[in-house]
Structure 1
Amino acid sequence: MADLKERLLPPKPASAVNLRDCSHRPSASGRPPFQGVDLLGLKKRGQGLRSWIRVDTSGNSQIIELDKFTMMRRCDLPARDLRLLDPLFVYPSTILGREKAIVVNLEQIRCIITADEVLLLNSLDSSVLHYVMELQRRLTANAVTDVWQTEGAELNRRRGSRSFDNVFQNTSPDYLPFEFRALEIALEAACSFLDSQAAELEIEAYPLLDELTSKISTLNLERVRRLKSRLVALTRRVQKVRDEIEQLMDDDGDMAEMYLTEKKSRMEASFYGDQSVIGYRSNDGVSFSAPVSPVSSPPDSRRLEKTLSIARSRRESSRSTESITGNIEELEMLLEAYFVVIDSTLNKLTSLKEYIDDTEDFINIQLDNVRNQLIQFELLLTTATFVVAMFGVVAGIFGMNFAIPFFDNESAFKWVLIITGVCGLIIFSSFVWFFKYRRLMPL
C-alpha cells in the first residue's frame, strides 16, 4: 500500500525535503528552528478586484471590476498615482496630468480621466452619484446639440437660407474636449461642496460669536473652540485646492500634458502615416510589413526595432506636447474661472477667521478690564483694612494694665475715637490721592 501511494503521488521537491529535515533538526542554540511560511498562499495586498464606474464619451455608464495592475496597464499610470484614489488613505487634493490620463483627487471626487472614458471608484456617496449624473447629462446634451447643428447646416446648405445661421449662431455649444468636460464637472463639484460648507459655517458662526460677546460662559467658549477647529480644517482644504489650481495655471507644460484628445489624435495620425509609408515602400518591391521569421532574424534586430518604435512614439508625444503648449488658452480659462470661485470661498473663510480673532481680542479686553477692576477693588480693600487696623492698635495700647491719669476723664474715650477716626480718614484719603497720582486706578 505504501509503495502504491509513493508511485501515485508526485515526488516532493528537494527544498521541501530539506526544510522538513531542518525542522526536526535542533539548532546549535537549543531553540526551535524557524518554521517556513508559504508566501504563495498569502493574498497580496492591493491586488484585489475593485468596482469602478465607467462613463464613456457618449454618456453611457457601466460598472466594471478591475484589479490594480489591470488599471495600471489600462491607463498607463504608476502605482503611486492609484494610491491617491484609495479611500483608505487620506491625501490632499491633487490634479495630475499624465501621458494618457488625468488623475483627479478633489474632495469626494476621485477619478481617472482619459480621452475615451472616466473611471470612478464605485461608491454610494451622493457626490459621486451626482458627478456621474451631471456628466451623463452634459454629454447627452452636447451630443444632441451636435446633431442639431449638423442637421441645421445640411438644411441651410440645401435651402440657401440664412434663417438657420441666426439660430445656430446664438447657441453656444461646448467645444471643450471630453477630458476637460469631465475635469470641469469635478472642479465644479469640489468648489460647490467647499463653498456650501463655508456658507454653513458662516451661518453658524456669526450668531454664536455675537452671543459670546454678550455673555462669556464656558459653554459658549467650548462651542467657539470647536467652530474654530472646523474652520481651520476647512481653510486648509480650500487652500490646497486653490494652490493646486494655481500651480497648474503657472506651469504650461502640465497644462499641455492634459490635452489627451489632441495627443491621441496626433498619435493616431502619426501611426497611420507610418503605416502608409510602409505600404508605399512595400509597393516598390520591398515589404516591411511582412512578418519576419524568428529563425532568419536574430533577437537583437527585433529588440532594436522595438526600441526604435518606442523612441519614435516618445518623440511624437513630445512634439505634440510642444505644439499644444502654445495653445492652452481653453484649459487656462477653465482653470481661471474655478480659481476665482475657490478664491472667493477662501476669502469668506479668511474674513470669518478675522472676525473670530477680533472677537477673541474683544473678549480678552473684557477679561482684562474685569481683572483690573478686581485688582483695584482689592487695593482699596487692603487700604481700608490698614486704616481699620489703627483702631486695633489704639485699643491695644489703652487696654494695657497700667495707670494713666487720662483715664480718669469721662470724655477721654470719646476724644480717642474722634482723633483715631480723623487720622484714619486722612491716611485713607492720602492713599487714594497717591493711587490717583500714580494712575493706578481711574478715580
Structure 2
Amino acid sequence: MAADLKERLLPPKPASAVNLREASYRPSASGRPPFQGVDVLGLKKRGQGLRSWIRVDTCGNSQIIEVDKFTMMRRCDLPARDLRLLDPLFVYPSTILGREKAIVVNLEQIRCIITADEVLLLNSLDSYVLQYVVELQRRLTTTGVGEVWQSDSADLSWRRGTRNLDNVFGNTSPDYLPFEFRALEVALEAACTFLDSQAAELEIEAYPLLDELTSKISTLNLERVRRLKSRLVALTRRVQKVRDEIEQLMDDDGDMAEMYLTEKKRRMEASFYGDQSLAGFRSTDGASISAPVSPVSSPPDSRKLEKSLSIARSRHDSMRSSESTTDSIEELEMLLEAYFVVIDSTLNKLTSLKEYIDDTEDFINIQLDNVRNQLIQFELLLTTATFVVAIFGVVAGIFGMNFPIGLFDDEGAFKWVLVITGVCGVSIFCAFVWFFKYRRLMPL
C-alpha cells in the first residue's frame, strides 16, 4: 500500500520519454488516468513557445495539453504580465489575482490559472504539483460540483440549509462552493501546509541548537545559528507575504466579487438567453427584427409593454446579482478567514522562534559582558598590584645610589626596610581595593 501511494504521489523520473509516457497513463486516486489525450513523445521544442500544461476540469478529469503563450492569453483573457507570474524561471512573491474570467494563483510551488470550467497548471516534476492535482481530483469526484449550482431562490435556500448543517457538523470544506473556490481552497491548503511543515522542521532543528549554544559558546555553534537565522528570516518573509495577500483580499470586497467566476458566467448566460427571449417576444408580436419598424406606425401598447418588461427584468437581475454577490463574498471571506488563521498561526510560530533566538542572543551577550567585566576587574587588580610592587623598586633604587648611608652599617637595617616597605605596600593595596568598592567599580 505504501509503495502504491509513493508511486502515485512522487513525480515521474525524467530519464527518458518512455517514463514520461508511462506517467501520463498512470491511474490517479480517482481511478482514472491523471493525464489523458496527449502523446508526450510528440512534444514540440521550447523554441516554438509551447508550454506543457496540466488541465483539470470540473468533473476531475485531467490531461496534458500543449499551449503557447498567446493562445493561453486569449483562452483565459489574461494580460502578459499575469502569465509572467507563472514563469518557473523567475521567482515572484506569492500573489492571488482576480481577473474577468480567471484567477491567477502563485502560491509557493502551486502556480496555476483557475477559470469557471478548468484549472491550468504548468506541468512540472515537482511532487507538490502532482499532489495538488490528485487532491483536487479527489475532492471534485467525491461530490460533483455541477449538481450544486441551481438557479435563483431554490439555489439560495439550498445553500443556506447546507450552511446550517455545516455549522452543526463542523464541515470545513462545504460542497456548495463553486469550482473556482474549491480549486483555490486546495491551492491555499497546499501552500499553508507546505509553509507550516517548513516552520515545524525549523523549530525541531532550532531549539536544540540554541540550547546547545547557551551551554557552549563556540564558533561552530555561532555559525550554525547564523545560518538558521537566515533561513528563518527568508521563511518569515514568505509566510508574511501569503498572509498579507489573504488579508488584502479579505479587506477588498470588489476583489472578492471579481473572483466569483461561476456566478459571472451564469449571469452572462442568463443575459444572453434573456436577450434571445426578448427577441422572440418581439418577433411573435408581429414586428420584424431584420427590418426596423417606424416608431409612428408601431402600436404604443406594445412599446409600453416591452419597456416595462425590460425595466422589470433589469431590476430583477440587479437585485439577484447584488444578493448573490453579497452571499458569494461572504462564502469566499469565510474560506479566506479559515486559511488566514492557519497562516497566521504559522507566522506566530516563526515569530516565537525569532524571539527565542533574540533571547538567546541577549543571554549570550550578557554572558560575554559578564566575562568582559570580570576581565576588567582582574586587570584593575593586576594594575594595582603592579603599582605596589613598583614601590619596592623605588626603595631598591634609592638604596642602590652611590653615596654613603649610615643605615648600611647596621646589620638588622635590611630586615626593617623590607618589613616597613611590605606593610606600606599592603596598606596602599587595601586602600585601593576599598576605594574601588566604595566607587562600585568592583561588585565583589
Fold similarity call, TM over 0.5:
yes
Counterpart position of 2:412: 411
Q: Does structure 1 conserve the Cα–Cα contact (< 8 Å) formed by 2:59 and 2:145?
A: no
Which residue of structure 2 aligns with residue 174 of structure 1?
175
Task: Give the unaligned 5+ runs of structure 1.
Answer: 1-44, 148-165, 291-315
Q: Secondary structure at the match of 1:104?
A: strand
Match of 2:101 in 1: 100
Contact 2:61 2:137 in 1 (8 A): yes
Partner of 2:371 in structure 1?
370
Which residue does the alignment assign to 1:210?
211
Whole-Å separation in 2 of the counterparts to 1:235 and 1:286? 68
Cα deviation code 1:386-414 (max 9, x no counterpart): 10011111111111111111100011111
1:219, 1:277 → 2: CA distance?
80
Which residue is 2:389 aligned to? 388
Counterpart in the other structure of 1:272: 273
Gaps of 5+ in 2: 1-45, 149-164, 292-315
Cα deviation per residue 1:214-270 (whole Å; 9 max; x = unaligned)?
111111111111111111111111111111111111111111111111110110011
User: How many equivalent residue pairs?
Assistant: 355
Q: Distance in 1 between matches of 2:125 and 2:317?
A: 38
Q: Deviations over 1:333-352 (max 9, x none)?
A: 11111011011101111111
Flag the 1:317–1:279 CA change in 2: closer, same or farther, 3 A: closer
**Do the aligned residues in 1 keep the contact of 2:97 with 2:105 (CA within 8 Å)?**
yes
Change (3 A) 1:317 1:99: farther
State the distance in 2 between where 1:235 and 1:410 align: 84
2:132 maps to which residue? 131
Asked whether the 8 Å contact 2:86–2:106 carries over to 1, the reply is yes
Q: Is the 8 A contact 1:198 1:349 kept in 2?
A: yes
**Deviation for aligned residue 1:280:** 3.0
Q: Give the partner amino acid of 1:405.
A: G
Residue number in structure 1 paired with 2:306 = none
Taking the aligned partners of 2:50 and 2:319, their CA distance within structure 1 comes to 37
Offset, 1:87: 1.0
Backbone CA RMSD of aligned residues:
2.6
Taking the aligned partners of 2:277 and 2:141, their CA distance within structure 1 comes to 36
CA distance in 2, matches of 1:47, 1:85: 18
Please give the alpha-carbon distance, in whole angstroms, between the structure 2 residues aligned to 1:170 and 1:361.
48
Partner of 1:399: 400
- Equivalent residue for 1:325? 325
1:246 aligned partner: 247
1:27-67: CA deviation from partner (whole Å, max 9, x where unpaired): xxxxxxxxxxxxxxxxxx99711110000001110111111
Distance 1:121 1:320, change over 3 A: farther
Deviation of 1:283 (Å): 4.0
1:191-233 Cα deviation digits (max 9, x unpaired): 0000000000100010000001011111111111111111111
* Residue identity in the other structure for 2:195: L
The answer for the alignment partner of 1:346 in structure 2 is: 347
Whether the 8 Å CA contact 2:58–2:146 is kept in 1: the answer is no
Give the partner amino acid of 2:126.
Answer: D
CA contact (8 A) 2:145 2:175 kept: no
Inter-partner Cα distance in structure 2 for 1:72 and 1:388? 90
> Quick one: which amino acid aligns to residue 221 of structure 1?
L
C-alpha distance 125-318 of structure 1, shift in aligned 2 (>3 A): farther
Look up the match of 1:261.
262
In percent, how many aligned pairs have the same letter?
A: 87
**Deviation at residue 284 of structure 1 after TM alignment:** 4.4
**Counterpart residue number, 1:34:** none
Query: Could you tell me whether the CA contact under 8 Å between 2:145 and 2:178 is conserved in 1?
Result: no
Kindly state the Cα deviation for residue 145 of structure 1 after the two structures are TM-superposed: 11
Q: Look up the match of 1:7.
A: none
- Give the match for residue 379 of structure 1: 380
For 1:66, give the aligned amino acid.
V
